[in-house]
Structures are given as structure tokens and as C-alpha cells.
Amino acid sequence: MPDHGDEDLTAAAYAVGGHSSRKTQPMPCSAVDEFCFFCEFEGNPKAVGSDTDLYGNLVDLATHLGSLHREAAHIANHLYEIYGSSIQMHIENQPEWTRESIIRHITNSGQFKTVFDTGVTHMFTNLIAKQNADLCDISTGMVIEDNRRAFCDTVKTFVGWRASLAKTGGNR
Ligand SMILES: [Zn+2]
């Protein structure tokens, strides 16, 4: 079990950035003083010191993996490897782009909506599994009505969420 401090009495139903980033607070890159390759070169992609469109290639990869509904942590691993092996060397001062910074950008910037949507879908499925675990009273074997109502409410909302994704092909 993780070590819970006094102010850490709640947990996410689904850790968007993977287990290690359970405590990561959702916030945009601009709120954090940490290098972000996507933010740094968004306005001027060609400024990366190479003839190849390194910025565009990486955005395309993230968009593609997002369209395949890959998890944010999985996409971040790919971007982290490619940035470190092929891009970092072309940038002045060669700053590190951390996995945490990558995840922050791809989930919170609004640039990759499918990554965010996939995260919400995982939150719903984990929430449903957690609520299912508390549906019945062990001693009586009876369904706990309040929990059943909350469970059905989650499922109903999830069905609506999936329908909205299907209607727009994921491009909301
Ligand atoms: Zn960013």
C-alpha cells in the first residue's frame, strides 16, 4: 500500500499518467516551470535545429497513437524515447523532456483530445469495477440499494459518454 499522508485520503479511479504519477495534479504546462518540447516549438516548429520536421513528426505520432486509444503513459514512453534519441541533441542546451512533462501536455493541453477521452473512458471502467465490488452485503447476500443506484448512475453516464464518442468518431 502507498504511504498516505494526512492530506492524501483519496485516490484516483484511474491514474492517467500510470501508477507512479498517481499524485500528479492536472494542470496546464504554463502553470509549471518545466521544459515542454511541444509548448516550446508549437509557435515555430521549424526552429528545431534540424532539416527534418521533428516537431511535426512527433505531433503526428502522438495523434496517431491517440487515435488508437493508447494510454497516456504508453504514448509518453514513445515520445520520451524518440525525443531523447533523435531530437534533444538538436535543441539548444539540450533540455530533458520528462515523462511527467509529456503526460501533462498530452492530457491537459487540449492538443490531443483523443488522449484525454481515452483517459476518461478508463476512469469510467475503473469506477464501474470499484463500485461493483461494493454492491452486495456479505452477511445477507442482498444488494445494497444506495450502492446499486450509484452504480447504475455511473453506467448510465458511461453509456452516454460512449455514445457521444461514437457519434463524432472521437472528434468532439
Ligand atoms: Zn506543453
N- to C-terminal Cα distance for the chain? 38
Tens digit of each residue's pLDDT, the chain (172 residues): 455 445 678 888 888 877 655 555 668 898 889 999 999 998 887 888 888 889 999 999 999 999 999 999 999 999 999 999 999 999 999 999 999 999 999 998 999 999 999 999 999 999 999 999 999 999 999 999 999 999 999 999 999 999 999 887 655 5
Distance 39 CA to ligand 1 centre (A): 4
Among the listed residues 132, 131, 119, 121, the one whose alpha carbon sits nearest the alpha carbon of residue 158: 121
| Residues 64/103, Cβ–Cβ less than 8 Å | no
Distance 159 CA to ligand 1 centre (A): 31
Distance 42 CA to ligand 1 centre (A): 9
Per DSSP, helices labelled H in the chain are 37-42, 54-67, 72-82, 99-108, 113-132, 145-168
Distance 37 CA to ligand 1 centre (A): 7
Please count the CA atoms within 13 angstroms of the CA of 170 that sit on its side-chain side. 16
Among the listed residues 83, 78, 41, the one whose alpha carbon sits nearest the alpha carbon of residue 62: 78
Distance 165 CA to ligand 1 centre (A): 25
Instruction: Indicate the pTM of the whole model.
Output: 0.81
Distance 10 CA to ligand 1 centre (A): 27
